[in-house]
Every structure is written in C-alpha cells, then in structure tokens.
Structure 1
C-alpha cells in the first residue's frame, strides 16, 4: 500500500492512496489551520470504525442475520500532553434488525477485533480497546 499527503497551503493537505480516492486534511484555526478537512487523528478512528464495521456486517450476513441498519461509533480518548495520541477507544456497534441473535453479534465483533481487522491489529498494543454492543429490533 502506498499513501501520500500533498501540501496545499497553511496546514491543509490532500491525502490519497492506491485506491485512487482523496480527502482533505486540515486542523483548527487556532493552530494555523483552516478547518477545511478531517484531522489526521480522526482518520484513525474512522478507519477503525470502517474496518471493523465491514468485518462485522460481512460475518452477520454469512450468519443470515436480518440486519436493516448498522452503525459503528468510535469514542476515542486522547492524551492531554503531546503527542496527544489516542489512549482509549470504546467501539460501539449498533445493530438494528429482525430477530438478531446477540450471540452472533458478539462472535462477529470478537472475530473482527481479534482476528480480521488490520486497523485494530495495528493499534492494539498502543490503545486500550473496549466494545459495546447495542441491538435494536427493527
């Protein structure tokens, strides 16, 4: 995988990778940014949410769970001192559907977090990760 960030002025960068997609990164005005894009650390949390979300929904489909809506929320806590790294993530899985089996969801989350999600595997030794599962009947 190759990725790059191209400076566009002030603290704005456009990031891209092998997939061919791009996104704007920026930061707060009070530190020199224009608030015109994602903060780079936000992308770590978004990457974790998307990675584990793809795993979990794929597993739930294979388990023939009738999911009608699915959302992954990452509640990240950062250190107060520089480098202000992410120290803790609570990953909240909100599954809506008909007759969803809680054991199937728990197993899908476990498989994603422990085996399949490369984003979680990359940060696991540096970030405390917890999860919360919410199941809603459609």
Structure 2
C-alpha cells in the first residue's frame, strides 16, 4: 500500500485472553489489552491517536520556524455508559509547548494557536473523524452483517 492510497488498514490478532497485537500494512506493531496493566486499552489508543495526530500537525507547522524545546500533549475523555451505549465524552487535548528564545522561537510561538486551530478544524484526520461521527460498518469474514435486530 502506497502512502498515496487512501485506504488505511490495521490487522488485529488475538495473542491471549483480552489481548491483541495490531499490525499495520508496513509491519509496525502495538500490543493492546483491557487496560490497567502494561498494555494500552483501545480507549487509551484512541486518545493517543487523537493527541498524536494533532501533535504531528502542530509540529509540522511550527518546526518550520523553530524546533520545540518541549511539545507535550495530554488527551483525556470521560468514559460513560448511557442510552447511547458506552462512549467517551468531554474529549480534550491540552498542549504544553515551549520554543527556544530568539527570532525562530518567536515565530513558532506566534503561529502556535493558529496551528492548533487548523489541526482541530481541518487537518487532524483522527479528531475530524471522531467529530464528524463516521459510521463504522461491521462484517464477518468480509460479508456485511444483517440488521442487528434480526435473528437467524
């Protein structure tokens, strides 16, 4: 799969009870589990994906002016169970950034708020997808599942 191909795919393989290995088309892997141990939970991976995506956007924009001394992000959300099922609310990403003194650092600091807004409003594929609420299709061996209320 080339980087120009719009399709993105990750394959998950069960490695044990409630644990999976996610593998990208390029062969990169990450282990996940139910949380609370040394593995990321799926919810933690979603938060990391949101922060990572917007962090990369902001880094790409600001580092043209100066390399940051520090670029840290905290992503958080509140897991709730309500009439809509389990989901996250109150999603937020908090940036903590510093740049070196001088003209380059001043330039990077001046574009930082705009870079964060551009990432949120247009650039970050992950947070844009969450905010636009893209439906998720479910399939079994490649075939679409029928109506969830239908019993075979």
- Spell out, residue by residue over 1:42-97, the C-alpha distance to the aligned partner (whole angstroms, 9 max, x if none): 110001111100100110122x1452111111021111448431112121111112
Task: Please identify runs of 4+ aligned residues in structure 1 that moved more than 2 A.
Answer: 80-84, 98-103
1:76 aligns with 2:83: no
SS in 1 for 2:68: strand
**Cα separation, 2, equivalents of 1:7 and 1:66:** 40
Q: Return 5+ residue gaps in structure 1 as ranges.
A: 30-34, 127-138
What secondary structure, in the 3-state scheme, does the structure 2 residue paired with 1:4 have?
A: strand
Residue 122 of structure 1, aligned match among 118, 126, 129:
129
For 1:133, the equivalent position in structure 2 comes to none
- For residues 95-134 of structure 1, the C-alpha deviation after alignment (integer angstroms, 9 at most, x for no partner) is 11234555411100011111111001110135xxxxxxxx
Cα RMSD for the two superposed structures: 2.0
- TM-score (structure 1 length as normaliser): 0.76
Partner of 1:56: 58
Check whether the contact 1:27–1:36 (CA below 8 A) recurs between aligned residues.
no
SS in 1 for 2:86: coil
Supply the distance in 2 between the matched residues of 1:59 and 1:36 (Cα, whole angstroms): 33
Question: Which structure shows the bigger proportion of residues in strand conformation?
Answer: 1
Count of residue pairs brought into register by the alignment = 120
Q: Where does 1:79-90 land on structure 2 (aligned, <5 Å)?
A: 79-81=80-82, 83-90=85-92
Larger radius of gyration: 2
Tell me: higher relative CO, structure 1 or 2? Use CA pairs within 8 A at least 6 residues apart.
1
Within the candidate set 9, 12, 28, 1:5 is matched to 12
